[in-house]
Amino acid sequence: MTSQPRWVRALILAAVVLAFGVSFWLLSGVIGIDSPWLVLLLMFYFLAIAKVAEPLFRMKVPAALRPLRPWERKRDVYRRLRVLSFGRLLRRSPLSSLNSAVYLDRGDEDPARVRLQIESSEASHFWAAVLFAPYVVFAGLKGMWSVVAWFLLAQLLLNVYPILHLRYVRGRLDRAMRRIGATHAS
């Protein structure tokens, strides 16, 4: 696949942002600007825009949170939290097409480039979670407990579990890359 010039990527990004902006404006007129559904929609828009913007720039998780912790390198924690089951669900369903760039066997065979995609995806979900969290707090302060419950579930399924899964995959890929490097060095 040939790479598009930066100006084409920028134009595509601008078109997506414009389309989402118009869509948001039209929907706010129909369901009301104070609808929790618009906040959820904004989170989806953010994730989509971040994906479209990836060729131009990649988001990053804050440096202090980027390194994998010792407990994250153990498969048992992920198994108990059902992160591995979540990963199987992603791979075996149409959801895998949402971000096929994080799989070695789907196009890009360069582990270093796939690792960059994994980090970028992790950062997108991290920042979506951060941007979504204040509304959950606001809904709680307003006593909108059903909204809080549903949005916490959405936060868990749409951001927290993807982050945990991407960190697990990144750890596995790092180990594989070290083994490959050690094999090539000997």
Q: Check residue 4 and give its pLDDT.
A: 85
User: How many angstroms separate the most distant Cα atoms in the chain?
Assistant: 65
**C-alpha separations of 165 from 18, 92, 175 in Å:** 31, 14, 16
Triad 155, 35, 14: Cα angle to 5°: 75
Give the per-residue pLDDT at 179. Answer: 81
Q: What is the DSSP letter of 62?
A: -
Contact 170, 122 (CB under 8 A): yes
- State pTM to two decimals: 0.85
pLDDT tens-digit readout, 66-124? 999 988 888 888 999 999 999 889 888 887 777 666 666 655 578 888 889 999 999 99
What is the chain's mean pLDDT, rounded? 88
Contact by Cβ (8 Å): 121, 162: yes
